[in-house]
Amino acid sequence: MTTPESAIALVIAAHPDDGDFGAGGYCSVLASQGWEVHFLVCTNGAKGTADRTMNRDRLIAIRREEQEEACRRMGVRGVHFLDNEDGELVYDRRLLDQIVRHIRWTRPHTVFTHDTDQVVRDSFINHPDHRATGTATLDAVYPTARDHLNFPEHLEEGLEPHKVREILLWSTNHPNFEVDFGEMVERKIYALSAHASQVGGQKDFATFARDRWKADDGRYLERFRRIELGF
């Protein structure tokens, strides 16, 4: 694809590892082409371990470190975390404010996030944190971040209104855009394997992942619902 004037992408995910699973291949491709890629993780990652000896603060710290390492492996420029409780994310003004602030700060051409459908491909239920993140992100992109009258206090902090040009939703029922990330398959696996607290227990994770991403014709594809914002 042609590189736009502002080659900046922002991945907005609910939990550590979501953005990597959803878009880690394409993000690695973009980073290798010189794009500045940022990650925003909307919860603190304090849930989802079967380890009864794990304490919550330690889990939060471990998940952060893992996401930071995964981002380094993908060539991502920066990763930020919001302090919202994992498993309890709701879409409210505060979440919208946090996401709008981040969009105005990073000024992305492309935003990646979760699709907001509750049931995906009749095969799994989309986590409520994912849906809250996706819904707040779409509203942040349009119309909230564009208009200086929304969260006008941002102006005082030097955060100007911003128009995102492209949205890519992963785990979608309506894919209309696919990316062949064959050159970055091993990089995506390497990035995901940094999330040892989440994928470390899975035997043969790499084999499982390669099989899952491989299309019938042998290509490795990430599929998105793509929305181009023309105005």
For Zn ion, the binding residues (CB under 5 A) are 14-15, 18
CB of 40 to Zn ion, least distance (A): 14
- Quick one: 15 or 102, whose CB is closer to Zn ion? 15
Sign of CA dihedral 170, 200, 195, 26: negative
- The rounded distance, in Å, linking the Cα atoms of 102 and 131 is 19
Residues 32, 21: Cα–Cα separation, whole Å? 18
User: Which residue has its beta carbon closest to Zn ion?
Assistant: 15
Min dist CB 124 to Zn ion, Å, is 11
Burial profile 72-95: b = 16 or more Cβ within 10 angstroms, e = fewer: ebbbbeebebbebebeebebeeeb
Let me know if 210 is exposed, middle or buried by CB neighbors in 10 A (0-12, 13-18, 19+).
Answer: middle
With both helix axes pointing from N to C terminus, report the angle between 128-141 and 93-106 in degrees, rounded to the nearest 10: 60
Minimum distance from residue 97 beta carbon to Zn ion (Å): 22
Closer residue to Zn ion, CB minimum distance, 10 or 89? 89
Cβ-based nearer residue to Zn ion, 61 or 125: 125
Give min distance, CB of 70 to Zn ion, in A.
14
Judged by beta carbon, residue 25 or residue 134, the one nearer Zn ion is 134
Q: Smaller CB distance to Zn ion: residue 8 or 191?
A: 191
* Cβ proximity of 137 and 24 under 8 Å: no
Nearer to Zn ion, 15 or 154 (CB): 15
- In whole angstroms, what is the distance from residue 40 CA to residue 202 CA? 26
- Closest residue by Cα to residue 76 from 88, 85, 67: 67
Binning the chain into helix, strand and coil, the percentages to the nearest 5 are 40, 20, 40
Measured from the CB of residue 130, what is the shortest distance to Zn ion in angstroms? Answer: 6
Q: How far is the CB of 102 from Zn ion (least distance, A)?
A: 18
